[in-house]
Amino acid sequence: MDSIGTFYGIGVGPGDPELLTVKAINALKKIDVLIAPKTEKKSDSVALSIARPYLKPSVEIIFQTFPMVRDFAAEKKIFEANTDEILKNLRGGKNVGFATLGDPMFYSTYIYIFELLEPRGVKIVTVSGVPAFLAIAAQIGRPLAYGNDILTIIPATAELDAIKNFLDKADATVLMKVYKNFPEVVDALAARNLIDEAILVSRCGLDDEKIITDVAAHKDEPLNYLSTILTRRSHE
Ligand X SMILES: C[S@@+](CC[C@H](N)C(=O)[O-])C[C@H]1O[C@@H](n2cnc3c(N)ncnc32)[C@H](O)[C@@H]1O
Quote the least distance from Cβ 53 to ligand X, whole Å.
Answer: 17
Nearer to ligand X, 87 or 201 (CB): 201
Quote the least distance from Cβ 176 to ligand X, whole Å.
Answer: 4
Nearer to ligand X, 32 or 103 (CB): 103
Nearer to ligand X, 87 or 110 (CB): 110
Nearer to ligand X, 187 or 209 (CB): 209
Which residue's C-beta sits nearest to ligand X?
102
Quote the least distance from Cβ 148 to ligand X, whole Å.
Answer: 25
DSSP code for 43: T
Q: Give the β-pairing of 6-11 and 96-100.
A: parallel
CA 163 to chain centroid, in Å, comes to 19
Q: In terms of DSSP H, where are the helices of 57-131?
A: 72-91, 109-117
How many angstroms separate the first and last alpha carbons of the chain? Answer: 60
C-beta separation of 95 from 32 below 8 A:
yes
Q: Give the β-pairing of 210-212 and 227-231.
A: unpaired
Q: Give the β-pairing of 227-231 and 172-176.
A: antiparallel
Quote the least distance from Cβ 201 to ligand X, whole Å.
Answer: 5
Quote the least distance from Cβ 84 to ligand X, whole Å.
Answer: 23
Nearer to ligand X, 95 or 202 (CB): 202
Quote the least distance from Cβ 103 to ligand X, whole Å.
Answer: 4
- Residue 63 neighbours by CB under 8 Å, 6+ apart: 36, 38, 45
Nearer to ligand X, 132 or 198 (CB): 132
Nearer to ligand X, 7 or 66 (CB): 66
- The rounded distance, in Å, linking the Cα atoms of 101 and 14 is 5
- The rounded distance, in Å, linking the Cα atoms of 106 and 84 is 23
Quote the least distance from Cβ 229 to ligand X, whole Å.
Answer: 8
Interacting residue ranges for ligand X, rule: CB under 6 A: 14-15, 100-103, 106-108, 131-132, 176-177, 201-206, 225-228
Give the helix/strand (H/E) hosting 227.
strand 227-231
- The rounded distance, in Å, linking the Cα atoms of 212 and 13 is 21
C-beta separation of 115 from 104 below 8 A:
no
